[in-house]
């Protein structure tokens, strides 16, 4: 049993290191960049003329990926932590969960947008059930905001944890969007409970 567990841990570490090293080589700020690359390859969410909002953007891996695709649209990245500048990206240091921040975002774009991407997660506590509840609560907040800012064909991609409140988030997503999928990229750590919610086509309420 010890040998099997040790072998499994080795495979997990190798899997993690593969993307960490690849990020360094290709100039991405985090290995998370490859998650968005995979998601975009599967669902074709980002286009050259997309107006896009990146929530929980720091250190900037997802914004880097988006900036390489978007050439005619607008990218706004929001995080409570400071993020180094990226070409073609407007960074806003704010707490998205605050109403004032959401009002600022709505005002800044001034119109409905095409895409929201969110890799936000609550700080881990060591209690997996609690971490799931807190992160999925953030996902719900992103879902609620999406109905205020996305256009009728808009797309939302948001991190979600398998576990507590997963079914609640799924139910709310299906209330708001005509298409709802869940996808775990290969670059996501195999021992992580994270997956990604992909929604498209806001329903008329």
- Dump pLDDT digits (tens) for 62-110: 999 999 999 999 999 999 999 999 999 999 999 999 999 999 999 999 9
- Dump pLDDT digits (tens) for 2-41: 445 555 654 555 455 788 888 888 888 999 999 999 999 9
Confirm if 90 and 126 have CB atoms less than 8 A apart. no
Predicted local confidence at residue 22, as pLDDT: 87
What residues are annotated to the active site? 159
**Which residues have C-beta within 8 Å of that of residue 96, sequence separation ≥ 6?**
55, 56, 78, 80, 102, 105, 120, 141, 142, 145
Q: Which residue has the tokens 């996808």?
A: 183
Closest CA to 165 of 185, 193, 123, 192: 193
| Alpha carbons within 13 A on the beta-carbon side of 31 | 13
CATH 3.30.540.10 fits 2-202, yes or no: no
> Positive or negative, the Cα torsion across 20, 75, 84, 134?
negative
- Dump pLDDT digits (tens) for 32-51: 999 999 999 999 999 999 99
**Partners of 113 in beta bridges:** 150
pTM as predicted: 0.89
Q: Per-domain residue ranges for the chain?
A: 2-202
């Amino acid at each position: 049993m010890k040998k099997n567990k040790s072998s499994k841990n080795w495979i997990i570490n190798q899997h993690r290191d593969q993307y960490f090293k690849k990020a360094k080589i290709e100039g991405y700020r985090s290995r998370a960049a490859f998650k968005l690359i995979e998601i975009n390859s599967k669902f074709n969410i980002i286009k050259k003329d997309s107006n896009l909002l990146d929530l929980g953007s720091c250190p900037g891996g997802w914004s880097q990926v988006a900036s390489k695709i978007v050439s005619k649209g607008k990218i706004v990245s929001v995080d409570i932590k400071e993020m180094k500048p990226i070409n073609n990206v407007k960074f806003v240091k704010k707490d998205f969960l605050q109403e004032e921040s959401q009002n600022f975002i709505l005002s800044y774009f001034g119109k409905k947008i095409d895409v929201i991407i969110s890799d936000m997660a609550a700080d881990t506590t060591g209690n997996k059930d609690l971490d799931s509840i807190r992160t999925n609560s953030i996902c719900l907040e992103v879902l609620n905001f999406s109905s205020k800012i996305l256009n009728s064909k808009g797309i939302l991609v948001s991190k979600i944890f398998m576990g507590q409140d997963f079914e609640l988030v799924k139910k709310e997503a299906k209330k708001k969007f005509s298409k709802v999928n869940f996808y775990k990229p290969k670059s996501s750590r195999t021992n992580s409970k994270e997956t990604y919610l992909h929604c498209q086509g806001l329903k008329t309420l």
